[in-house]
Amino acid sequence: MSELHSLLGFSERPVTRERYVETLRAYLRAGVPATYTLEQVAAFEKDGDQGEVTAEDSSTTPLHVLARSLPRDLTEAERAVVLELMDMLFEYGAGWNFLDYEGKTVGDLLLESGEDSETGPLYRRLVEAGVSAELLLRKLNGGEIEFLEDDDERDPQECESVERPADEGPVDPPVDPPVDPPVDPPVDGPAADQDTYLKTTLEYTDDALLTQGDKHGVMMEWETEIMKLAADTLFSSVEDDAPIVLNIGFGMGIIDGFIQQKTPKKHYICEAHPDVLAKLREDGWYEKPNVVILEGRWQDTLNKLLDDGEVFFDGIYYDTFSEHYKDMLDLYDVVVGLIKPTGVFSFFNGLGADRQICYDVYKAIVELDVNNYGMKCEYKKIDITKILPDWKNVKRSYYNVNYYYHPRISFL
């Protein structure tokens, strides 16, 4: 193991196929693991219990070692060799979303080494590996994406792939790696599942909608600029002067305010939580002549609209809480049935946003998935460093990436 790690320290230059690829192949063929070892996991658990994790005896993976040691002055030829090394490690089961002793993903380390998230070949290779692994995992699970729940920040393999994650946990390791990293029991609480969330009391503050007690951020005012952009997108392909739009998830009604400013012919709002419905009533949304409120989960209310076949939307927006990407996969079926051929679908893109590599992987997965419906997803990238909050008053940050990819999905 240490020989493998020392090889990937790139102490010898130049980085050639003969020296590095062939030696790595020999190690892996001899059974040296491409990912965590059982000993590392045990050490990690032990250290985790004691609240102390040291670099010497806790988790890292060969890919992490490679990413940490990358020479800054790699030539093109050397970079091609590093790509081959990465390919080989993936072939032997290296995980794309594992965390090391500093809680970093390989993606974090590659970005720190100077790779660009959109054009860096090594980072892009990692994203590709993540996409393939997630899609394979979905196939293995018979279409279901499995989520492991874990509150422990230092879980060695943590990568969330959820919409508005709050406390929802990491995805399973992408493929069956040689050593299964430890998995802690599911978190309790409102973010973990819809049944619990819908029974949890909510409270509106000046700048947020929170769950009472735990203070999970259901919606926060910092997203206002994103909601404005989303509202504009919903009206971006309207063909007549009588647009009909649907917003799934009212929350603080920020996007609904922007939608109303555009005086749509009909503005449907689908909302499931009784406290939010009470707020809609209190604030007079039921009296607005162009507003139709669909009370209940979209899973229950939208199928009725589909069956009736009487309304088709110019724009549909989706932004809920305590749902997972597998819910979005179900939603795509409904969206294609309810949207006009010229219509636009968009959603709050917090998928995997607590880690940049996960965010980039899910960005690509959405593109592929909507493509299967004959739709394309175009992203607008916006810098949100200046609007991100300090998360002081909420249990946990649900967005840790410095930019936002705003999705605009329409038929090809």
Ligand X SMILES: C[S@@+](CC[C@H](N)C(=O)[O-])C[C@H]1O[C@@H](n2cnc3c(N)ncnc32)[C@H](O)[C@@H]1O
Binding site for ligand X (CB under 6 A): 164, 218-219, 227, 248-255, 270-273, 276, 297-299, 319-321, 323
Q: Least distance to ligand X from the beta carbon of 365, Å?
A: 21
2-7: which pairs have CB atoms within 8 A and are 24 or more residues apart? Answer: 3/27, 3/32, 4/32, 4/62, 5/60, 5/62, 5/65
Nearer to ligand X, 125 or 297 (CB): 297
CA 5 to the chain's CA centroid:
30
At closest approach, how far in Å is the CB of 333 from ligand X?
15
* In the complex, minimum distance from the CB of residue 209 to ligand X, in angstroms, rounded to a whole number: 7
Report helix, strand and coil shares of the chain as percent, to nearest 5.
40, 15, 45
- Min CB(398)–ligand X separation in Å: 10
Rounded-to-integer distance, Cα 18 and Cα 166, Å: 47
Find out whether 396 and 216 touch, Cβ atoms under 8 Å: yes
Q: Is residue 185 reached through a cis peptide bond, with omega within 30 degrees of 0 on the bond before it?
A: no
State the nearest-atom distance from the C-beta of 165 to ligand X, in Å: 12
Amino acid at 382: I
Torsion-angle region of residue 222: left (phi > 0), alpha (psi -120 to 50) or beta?
alpha
Nearest-CB residue to ligand X?
A: 251
DSSP state of 20: I
